[in-house]
């Protein structure tokens, strides 16, 4: 492993917080080197939009209809739009905080936090990103295994037939472990080997298209059922019958924050742009696209299943849809398109996980993309941890839901707001600081209530057994 040279006084300098994590695309010797690498002269606007949108639209999309069920249709859709607005505001805060009036701009989210709160703040953010992304990737792989190979009674609950088992029957090559191993070797391994995030622009575009497939199918089924009268208008407002139902409303906030989490991918995408000044427009476009997908998914998902909407709406598509001829086909289209979507989201989330873990473990080393051995070691190690977690610890969903929601709230709201309030370079307005105070208050209060409700629910369930 190569480290930075010693300073004149003999001490090892820390890797500069503004040193590029990736080769720059414009100007200087490094820019010329990258431009000559396969003719790459910077990422396009559309490619950046798709990459950022793919970071946003992950597994969280399937929990949104259940969140709308808790909040009611009107407040639920309003909260989804508000979540997109606050996410765009938080990204704008960290981008402006990383662009001082004089001097180079920050090239990572961790660098922005490091400028405001030093090495401790930087390490804390990187730890949150590692916990959040590692948990998300394990959950992604668990879902992929459940959909492809099904779940068994030993996993808890009834047996659900997987797509491969439904098509080909039970064989050794349709088993969960083999399906996940094949996915890892032939899908994940090639995609996570890219050193530039822009290399994933085409798979990201396909991933967004696959998410739209789910929306279109759900919308079509809902409209047909609404016309023939088999479903009615969903509940518009929350149903508050006691104190517990009131506090449960706050448990939806971490779900909404997790659904929009993408702040850790903003700077790697910006670093590769032909014109970094486009990043604000890219963020706004991506948030509008993702909010539209989220609103449509929540609207048609809740309209279709009503009070029967499960925490993971994908599980609702494992039942009879009321279409004798096309029902099974529609179910398979929804499940397969969603699994393919997660497979293509995986490398985008993995990219940020790898960069932040490297910065946490090797702060003195040269940028990761210049050290092939370190790049390969971290990639193989992380992929091994994710694969092992998905295969041998399939009951960690609740644990990662708790830690992931906590880390996601910190990444999405608390750190950007704290940076805005710190305002090292005095670039924030009074409006920014008022919004930052609101974001911290919302994040801390909702997370505290949500975690308390989850813990209370666990002990209540155990005492009732």
Tell me: pLDDT of 431 over 60.
yes
Residue 59 pLDDT grade (very low, low, confident, very high; cuts 50, 70, 90): low
List the single range of 200-209, 399-408, 410-419 with lowest mean pLDDT: 399-408
**pLDDT recorded at residue 371:** 86
Q: Mean pLDDT of all residues in the chain?
A: 81
Partners of 43 in the β-ladder: 273
Residue 438 pLDDT grade (very low, low, confident, very high; cuts 50, 70, 90): very high
The three-point CA angle 448-262-216 to 5° equals 100
Would you give the DSSP letter of residue 374? H
Q: In terms of pLDDT, which residue wins out, 244 or 209?
A: 209
Tell me: pLDDT of 189 over 90.
yes
Tell me: pLDDT of 93 over 90.
yes
Tell me: pLDDT of 23 over 70.
no
* Residue 411, token pair as written in the block: 């990444």
Please give the Cα distance from 222 to 59 (Å, whole number).
Answer: 22
pLDDT tens digit sequence for 297-356 = 999 888 888 888 877 787 777 766 666 667 778 888 888 888 898 899 999 899 999 999
CA dihedral sign, ordered 271, 276, 280, 282 = negative
Which of 146-150, 226-230, 417-421 holds the top average pLDDT? Answer: 417-421
Residue 231 pLDDT grade (very low, low, confident, very high; cuts 50, 70, 90): confident
**pLDDT recorded at residue 4:** 53
Q: In terms of pLDDT, which residue wins out, 172 or 327?
A: 172
**pLDDT recorded at residue 458:** 62
Tell me: pLDDT of 35 over 80.
no
List the single range of 176-180, 288-292, 436-440, 450-454 with lowest mean pLDDT: 450-454
Helix (H) / strand (E) containing 150:
strand 150-151
List the single range of 152-166, 186-200, 331-345, 347-361 with lowest mean pLDDT: 152-166
List the single range of 183-197, 202-216, 233-247 with lowest mean pLDDT: 233-247
- Residues contacting 431, CB < 8 A, separation 6+: none
DSSP strands (E only) in 171-270: none
**pLDDT recorded at residue 462:** 53
Residue 426's CB: how many other CB atoms inside 10 A? 7
Residue 277 pLDDT grade (very low, low, confident, very high; cuts 50, 70, 90): confident
pLDDT tens digit sequence for 380-401 = 999 999 998 887 765 555 555 5
Looking at residues 117-143, what average pLDDT do you find? 90
Tell me: pLDDT of 160 over 70.
no
Please give the Cα distance from 125 to 355 (Å, whole number).
Answer: 12
Residue 187 pLDDT grade (very low, low, confident, very high; cuts 50, 70, 90): very high
Please give the Cα distance from 102 to 162 (Å, whole number).
Answer: 57
**pLDDT recorded at residue 148:** 84
Q: Would you tell me the crossing angle of helices 415-422 and 430-464 to the nearest 10 degrees?
A: 150
Residue 415 pLDDT grade (very low, low, confident, very high; cuts 50, 70, 90): very high
| 92 alpha-carbon distance from chain centroid | 18
- Confirm if 137 and 353 have CB atoms less than 8 A apart: yes
* Residue 404, token pair as written in the block: 């992931």
Q: Which residue has the tokens 């090292």?
A: 424
- Confirm if 35 and 196 have CB atoms less than 8 A apart: no
- Confirm if 341 and 210 have CB atoms less than 8 A apart: yes
Tell me: pLDDT of 157 over 80.
no
């Amino acid at each position: 492993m190569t480290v930075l040279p010693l300073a004149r006084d003999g001490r090892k300098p820390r890797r500069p917080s503004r040193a590029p994590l990736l080769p720059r695309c414009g100007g200087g010797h490094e820019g010329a080197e990258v431009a000559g690498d396969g003719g790459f002269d910077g990422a396009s606007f559309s490619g950046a939009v798709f990459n950022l949108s793919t970071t946003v639209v992950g597994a969280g999309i399937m929990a949104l209809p259940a969140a709308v069920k808790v909040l009611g249709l009107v407040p639920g859709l309003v909260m989804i739009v508000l979540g997109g607005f606050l996410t765009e505001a938080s990204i704008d805060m960290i981008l402006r905080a990383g662009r001082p009036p004089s001097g180079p701009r920050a090239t990572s989210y961790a660098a922005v936090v490091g400028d405001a709160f030093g090495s401790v703040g930087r390490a804390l953010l990187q730890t949150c990103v590692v916990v959040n992304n590692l948990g998300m990737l394990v959950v992604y792989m668990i879902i992929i295994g459940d959909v492809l190979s099904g779940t068994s009674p030993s996993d808890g609950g009834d047996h659900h037939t997987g797509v491969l088992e439904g098509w080909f029957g039970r064989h050794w090559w349709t088993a969960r472990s083999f399906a996940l191993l094949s996915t890892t070797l032939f899908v994940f391994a090639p995609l996570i080997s890219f050193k530039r995030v822009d290399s994933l622009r085409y798979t990201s575009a396909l991933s967004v298209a696959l998410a739209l497939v789910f929306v279109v199918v759900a919308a079509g089924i809902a409209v047909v059922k609404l016309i023939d009268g088999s479903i009615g208008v969903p509940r518009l407002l929350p149903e508050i019958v006691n104190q517990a139902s009131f506090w449960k409303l706050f448990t939806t906030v971490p779900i909404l924050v997790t659904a929009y989490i993408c702040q850790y991918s903003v700077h790697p995408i910006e670093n590769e742009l032909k014109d970094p000044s486009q990043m604000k427009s890219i963020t706004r476009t991506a948030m509008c696209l993702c909010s539209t997908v989220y609103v449509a998914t929540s609207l048609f998902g809740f309209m279709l299943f009503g009070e029967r909407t499960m925490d993971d709406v994908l599980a609702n598509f494992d039942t009879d849809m009321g279409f004798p001829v096309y029902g099974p086909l529609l179910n398979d289209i929804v499940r397969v398109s969603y699994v393919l979507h997660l497979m293509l989201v995986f490398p985008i989330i993995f990219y940020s996980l790898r960069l932040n873990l490297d910065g946490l473990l090797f702060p003195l080393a040269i940028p990761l993309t210049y050290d092939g051995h370190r790049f390969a070691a971290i990639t193989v190690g992380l992929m091994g941890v994710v694969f092992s977690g998905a295969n041998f610890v399939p009951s960690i969903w609740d644990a990662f839901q708790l830690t992931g929601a906590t880390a996601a709230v910190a990444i999405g709201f608390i750190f950007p707001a704290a940076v805005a309030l710190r305002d090292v370079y005095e670039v924030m307005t009074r409006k920014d600081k008022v919004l930052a105070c609101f974001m911290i208050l919302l994040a801390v209060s909702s997370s505290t209530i949500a975690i308390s409700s989850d813990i209370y629910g666990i002990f209540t369930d155990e005492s009732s057994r």
